[in-house]
Amino acid sequence: MNFEHNEDRRMLADALNRYLSEQYPAEYRNQAAYGEAGYSAETYAKLAEIGAIGALFKEADGGLGGAGPDIHLVFEALGNHLVAEPLLGALLVGRALAEAGTPAQKARLEDIVAGTALAALAHDEPANHYELGRVATTAVKSGDGWRIDGAKAVVPFGDQAQLLLVSARTAGAVDDEAGISLFLVPGDAAGISARGYGRIDGGHAAELRFAGVQVGADALLGAEGQGCALLERIVGYGLLALAAESLGAMDKAKGDTLEYLRTRKQFGVPIGSFQALQHRMADMLLEVEQARSAVINAAAAIDETDRVTREKALSAAKYSVGKIGTLIAEEAIQMHGGIGVTWELPLAHYAKRLVMIDHQLGDMDHHLARWMALSA
Amino acid sequence: MDLQFTPEEEAFRAEVRAFLKDHLPPQLAAKVKAGQRLTRADQEGWHAILNKKGWLAYHWPKEYGGTGWTAIQKFIFDDECAMAGGPRLVPFGLSMLGPVLIKYGNEEQKKRWLPRILGGDDWWCQGYSEPGAGSDLASLKTTAVREGDHYVVNGQKTWTTQGQHANMMFCLVRTDRQAKAQSGISFVLIDMNQPGVEVRPIRTLDGDAEVNEVFLTDVKVPLENLVGEENKGWTYAKYLLTYERTGIAGVGFSMAALEKLKAIASRVQRNGKPLAQDPQFATRMAQVEIDLNNMATTNLRVLASVQGGGVPGAESSMLKIRGTVIRQELLSLIRRAMGPYALPYIEAAQFAEYDQEPVGPKEAATAAAAYFNYRKLSIFGGSNEIQRNIISKMILGL
């Protein structure tokens, strides 16, 4: 039993935190996150250079780590500094390539790890509510390859990604888990139209429409019709990443709120001297520690071969951070009072991110129900 | 980062499990699992079994008859005992007075009292709370006045758990009425078998009578029964309370309660289906299980941080709050699972000796009583509000 990270991981986390503390202040972040592209290409390149993307992949796949605690540490640091850059897409698509790619497909990992190509998972659809097995987009055999038709919803950086990983139905009914296939599609393929927009928590996303998009036979990733299991596997990495990101953001929100309680005066005394607020702050602390335990459990389970054990730990973590992250966001705003609802306050942007994490890859209700179904 | 127990720890777990299988009397385990009340003989019997093995005072240093186990080993032991239905050890001598004597007692006191705790010769009780001093313990008013070779003690203690069995009490008394609250308190050992000591039971809301009021009128305490220095008792009292909170998360007890809840929910029916398949009930069960799994890891993290052999500091307040809330939620769900059968209350059915046909499901007899009784978890040992004060002051620095 050992809860310490090894030295390599601590060094990476230190380097990452140092860089972000020095070079990624709130104004800089907000300018990029709420700007045209929704991120800073310069920052993304620098994160790749430090090894933040590489740490998400195994050495055999051109990375520097790739284990649960690596993903945990990187995303906790990203959350702590409210990083808007598209590392989640790199993780999801990159791990899919690593898990199921042919040698030629795996070759694309190099640009993803280097940070020179953006990648995005295009799975959710306008009629979806986080289900992995519900896919209306279709892919039918056409010539030597496939023709894809359909619509994908809220794809992170979907109009800027060079590489899209698209789920499409090659057989079965709309909600059959069997018959889903995954395709690697260039972002600029003919027939894709994108409607891009900013996100409320910063960053960027897009609605993608696929109208007769023609791809080659080599676009199919993994076995035809067997994509749902792979989807679950890579979304699992995403759940760990988002849970860790949430933890990092919670820690920061908690710290900022504590500082405010110490310095803000009302009735001639620091508001932190009021027991009503002290107790709520104590509850925030212990909830954050519960979330940390959930993330540690998920990181330990990510490579567990027993599916139920692994997926339960991941859903438990996402459920926990969904519930706790929302609580921390609301409490942090409330304890800040009026300033808490202003754009000017960095904490307000953390609060938005904390709540929005619950809207990615399944919210607390989704993951509680999933955990229960896995337990049955 | 490695959440696995080491092979040595796993071997230790197997050893504990094997011991419990061979030595924990099945009737006793059945009582504990059913939530039935334990007799004095039940508790003394279990202590004697553990003492014979050398595992009774497992958190004491080896030289005093302890085990020298690591924090993780202690956790494993607690966990296995709870899952097997081992009774909770009576903490007053073992977990409260023992550690205080070991740290602050003189040689003579250690030699005299520690072996008697192990041997079960004394039944200790705790004289801390008073009618006007609960969470605000330092405002206690019981006085001790020095007269020759002894103190004369006058006052009233309350919430004295199992005081009806006790022949000895460790007690906080005021020896300096001029000093400010915390600094005039001393820690003394009182012989309960003497004139002037009167124990009156307090009936708790579940109908049980395990707590008492203790009236002290001109009670004599020899000076040799003063622990540590006069007027320094608050330091010892606080040390004791920290010690009391190790293991306070009660993860093992909650795990056992969860098992029980699941068994009940798979049997009791609602709408013609097991309660475990009722969406709302199943959701509540899932929420508390996830919370408990998180808590178990939080608990291990705190233990790992004190592997050196210390006791957790303010972090134990965190464990206390969360651990007690989870355990209370589990007891609440067990109560709710009984439906209307939570209502009947048959006093005799609180005991294992009850041989009549149960009314409703067999767990129903104790479900509501246990739920009400364990509301105490978030009150005793420093209420959860006091724990929040401690977190606020010691961790958050507010």
**How far is CA B369 from each of CA A75, A341, B30, B330, rounded to the nearest angstrom?**
47, 47, 17, 14
Establish if B1 belongs to a structural domain.
no
For residue A350, which of A147, A202, A141, A220 has the smallest C-alpha distance? A202
Q: What is the Cα–Cα distance from B182 to B235, expressed in whole angstroms?
A: 9
- The last residue of one of the domains, among B73, B89, B105, is B89
Give percent above pLDDT 90 in chain A.
98
A79-85 average pLDDT score: 98
Q: Which residue type occupies B94?
A: L
Q: Which residue type occupies B319?
A: L
Q: Which CATH architecture has domain A7-114?
A: Orthogonal Bundle (1.10)
All residues of chain A having their beta carbon less than 8 Å from the beta carbon of residue B396 are: 258, 272, 278, 281-282, 285
CA angle at residue B294 from B292 to B300, to 5 degrees?
100
Q: How far is B151 from chain A (nearest CA, A)?
A: 39
Which residues are bridge partners to B147 per DSSP? B150
φ, ψ (nearest 5 deg) of residue A182: -110, 140
Q: Which residue has the higher pLDDT, B69 or A215?
A: A215
Task: State whether residue A374 sits within 8 Å of chain B by CB.
Answer: no
Is the Cβ pair A371, B290 closer than 8 Å?
yes
CA B80 distance to own-chain centroid: 17
- Token representation of residue A26: 């709130």
For residue B97, which of B46, B59, B53 has the smallest C-alpha distance? B59
CA angle at residue A182 from A176 to A186, to 5 degrees?
145
Three-state DSSP at B260 gives helix
Q: Are residues B74 and B176 in the same domain?
A: no
Q: Name the CATH topology of A229-375.
A: Butyryl-CoA Dehydrogenase, subunit A; domain 3 (1.20.140)
Is the Cβ pair A285, B318 closer than 8 Å?
yes
- pLDDT 10s digits, A251-303: 999 999 999 999 999 999 999 999 999 999 999 999 999 999 999 999 999 99
Task: Give the number of other CB atoms < 10 A from CB of residue B231.
Answer: 16
Whole-number pLDDT of residue B352:
84
Task: State whether residue A327 sits within 8 Å of chain B by CB.
Answer: no
Is the Cβ pair A372, B388 closer than 8 Å?
no
The distance in angstroms from the start CA to the end CA of chain B is: 32
Q: Are residues B225 and B252 in the same domain?
A: no
Whole-number pLDDT of residue B351:
87
| Tokens 């409703």 found at | B360
Q: What is the Cα–Cα distance from A244 to A250, expressed in whole angstroms?
A: 10
Is the Cβ pair B1, A6 closer than 8 Å?
yes
Q: Which residue type occupies B185?
A: I
Q: What is the 3-state secondary structure (H, E, C) of chain A?
A: CECCCCHHHHHHHHHHHHHHHHHCCHHHHHHHHCCCCCCCHHHHHHHHHHCCCHHHCCHHHCCCCCCHHHHHHHHHHHHHCCCCCCHHHHHHHHHHHHHHCCHHHHCCHHHHHHCCCCEEEECCCCCCCCCCCCCCCEEEEECCEEEEEEEEEEEECCCCCCEEEEEEECCCCCCCCCCEEEEEEECCCCCEEEEEEECCCCCEEEEEEEEEEEECHHHEECCCCEHHHHHHHHHHHHHHHHHHHHHHHHHHHHHHHHHHHHHCEECCEEHHHCHHHHHHHHHHHHHHHHHHHHHHHHHHHCCCCCHHHHHHHHHHHHHHHHHHHHHHHHHHHHHHHHHHHCCCCHHHHHHHHHHHHCCCCCCHHHHHHHHHHHHC
Task: State whether residue A285 sits within 8 Å of chain B by CB.
Answer: yes
Q: How many domains does chain B have?
A: 3
Q: Are residues B266 and B385 in the same domain?
A: yes
CB-neighbour burial class of residue B152 (10 A; exposed 0-12, middle 13-18, buried 19+) = middle
User: Of how many residues is chain B composed?
Assistant: 398
* Closest by Cβ to B3, choosing from A1, A272, A290: A1
Q: Are residues B220 and B252 in the same domain?
A: no
Whole-number pLDDT of residue B309:
53
A302-306 average pLDDT score: 96
Q: Tell whether the model's pLDDT for residue A180 goes beyond 80.
A: yes
Task: State whether residue A281 sits within 8 Å of chain B by CB.
Answer: yes
B244 an active-site residue?
yes
Q: Are residues B278 and B304 in the same domain?
A: yes
Establish if B102 belongs to a structural domain.
no
The distance in angstroms from the start CA to the end CA of chain A is: 29
Instruction: Give A104's Cβ-side CA count (13 Å radius).
Output: 7
CB of A92 within 8 A of CB of A361?
no
All residues of chain A having their beta carbon less than 8 Å from the beta carbon of residue B291 are: 290
Is the Cβ pair B294, A320 closer than 8 Å?
yes
DSSP of B53-97: HT-TTTTS-GGGT-----HHHHHHHHHHHHHHTPPPPPHIIIIII
| Tokens 């993803």 found at | A112
Three-state DSSP at B202 gives strand
Q: Are residues B191 and B281 in the same domain?
A: no
- Token representation of residue B67: 């085990």
Tell me which chain B residue has its CA closest to the CA of residue A262: B398
Q: Which residues contact B308 (CB under 8 A, 6 or more apart)?
A: none
Is the Cβ pair A372, B321 closer than 8 Å?
no
Residue tagged active-site, from B210, B244, B329, B363: B244
Q: Are residues B176 and B36 in the same domain?
A: no
- The last residue of one of the domains, among B69, B89, B109, is B89
- pLDDT 10s digits, B174-208: 999 888 878 899 999 999 999 999 999 999 999 88
Whole-number pLDDT of residue B246:
55
pLDDT tens digits in sequence order for chain B, 398 residues long:
778 889 999 999 999 999 999 999 999 999 999 889 899 999 999 999 999 999 999 989 999 999 989 888 988 999 999 999 999 999 999 999 999 999 999 999 999 999 999 999 999 999 999 998 988 889 999 999 999 999 999 999 999 999 999 999 999 999 998 888 788 999 999 999 999 999 999 999 998 888 999 999 999 999 999 999 999 999 999 888 776 555 778 899 999 999 999 999 999 998 899 999 999 999 999 999 999 999 999 998 888 877 655 556 778 889 999 999 999 999 999 999 999 999 999 999 988 888 899 899 989 999 999 999 999 999 988 899 999 999 999 889 99
Task: State whether residue B295 sits within 8 Å of chain A by CB.
Answer: yes
- Token representation of residue A141: 């055999």
Task: State whether residue A282 sits within 8 Å of chain B by CB.
Answer: yes
Task: State whether residue A373 sits within 8 Å of chain B by CB.
Answer: no
- Token representation of residue A10: 């601590």
All residues of chain A having their beta carbon less than 8 Å from the beta carbon of residue B391 are: 282, 285-286
Is the Cβ pair B294, A371 closer than 8 Å?
no
Is the Cβ pair B392, A282 closer than 8 Å?
yes
Task: Give the number of other CB atoms < 10 A from CB of residue A160.
Answer: 20
φ, ψ (nearest 5 deg) of residue A191: 100, -10
Q: What is the Cα–Cα distance from B119 to A80, expressed in whole angstroms?
A: 54
**Dihedral (CA of B161, B167, B170, B171) sign:** positive
Q: What is the Cα–Cα distance from A318 to A330, expressed in whole angstroms?
A: 18
Q: What is the ipTM of this complex?
A: 0.89
Report helix angle A346-357 to A26-33, nearest 10.
Answer: 50
* Closest by Cβ to B304, choosing from A2, A5, A273: A2
Give percent above pLDDT 70 in chain A.
100
* Closest by Cβ to B286, choosing from A290, A292, A368: A368
Which residues are bridge partners to A180 per DSSP? A169, A226
* Closest by Cβ to B318, choosing from A258, A289, A319: A289
A189-209 average pLDDT score: 97
Task: State whether residue A273 sits within 8 Å of chain B by CB.
Answer: yes
Q: Are residues B149 and B46 in the same domain?
A: no
For residue A155, which of A189, A114, A124, A200 has the smallest C-alpha distance? A124
- In chain A, domain spans: 7-114, 119-226, 229-375
All residues of chain B having their beta carbon less than 8 Å from the beta carbon of residue A283 are: 388
Q: What is the Cα–Cα distance from A322 to B394, expressed in whole angstroms?
A: 28
Whole-number pLDDT of residue A34:
97
- Token representation of residue A86: 């598209």
Is the Cβ pair B385, A69 closer than 8 Å?
no
Mutate to test the interface with A, among B388, B393, B394, B395 (most CBs of A within 10 A): B388
Q: Are residues B134 and B200 in the same domain?
A: yes
Tell me which chain B residue has its CA closest to the CA of residue A372: B286
Is the Cβ pair B297, A297 closer than 8 Å?
yes
Tell me which chain A residue has its CA closest to the CA of residue B277: A376
All residues of chain B having their beta carbon less than 8 Å from the beta carbon of residue A3 are: 1, 3, 300-301, 304-305
Three-state DSSP at B27 gives helix
Task: State whether residue B3 sits within 8 Å of chain A by CB.
Answer: yes
* Closest by Cβ to A1, choosing from B72, B295, B387: B72
Whole-number pLDDT of residue B310:
55
Q: Are residues B69 and B204 in the same domain?
A: no
Q: Are residues B257 and B388 in the same domain?
A: yes
φ, ψ (nearest 5 deg) of residue B65: 100, 10
Task: State whether residue A242 sits within 8 Å of chain B by CB.
Answer: no
Whole-number pLDDT of residue B243:
65
CATH number for the domain harbouring residue B293:
1.20.140.10
Whole-number pLDDT of residue B311:
59
Q: Are residues B271 and B383 in the same domain?
A: yes
Task: State whether residue B343 sits within 8 Å of chain A by CB.
Answer: no
Whole-number pLDDT of residue B303:
82
CATH number for the domain harbouring residue B165:
2.40.110.10
φ, ψ (nearest 5 deg) of residue B172: -95, 130
Task: State whether residue A243 sits within 8 Å of chain B by CB.
Answer: no
Which residues are bridge partners to A146 per DSSP? A141, A215
Task: State whether residue B41 sits within 8 Å of chain A by CB.
Answer: no
φ, ψ (nearest 5 deg) of residue B211: -110, 155
**How far is CA B224 from each of CA B107, B110, B257, rounded to the nearest angstrom?**
11, 12, 44
All residues of chain A having their beta carbon less than 8 Å from the beta carbon of residue B398 are: 258, 261-262, 270, 272-273, 278, 281
Is the Cβ pair A261, B398 closer than 8 Å?
yes
Task: Give the number of other CB atoms < 10 A from CB of residue B131.
Answer: 12
A142-156 average pLDDT score: 97
B290 is in which domain, residue-wise? 246-395
- pLDDT 10s digits, B68-97: 898 889 889 999 999 999 999 999 999 999
Tell me which chain B residue has its CA closest to the CA of residue A371: B286
Beta strands per DSSP E along chain B? 124-127, 143-147, 150-157, 168-174, 185-191, 197-202, 211-222, 226-227, 269-270, 273-274
Instruction: Give A79's Cβ-side CA count (13 Å radius).
Output: 32
All residues of chain B having their beta carbon less than 8 Å from the beta carbon of residue A297 are: 3, 293-294, 297
CA A167 distance to own-chain centroid: 18
Q: Tell whether the model's pLDDT for residue A231 goes beyond 60.
A: yes
**CATH code of the domain made up of A119-226:** 2.40.110.10
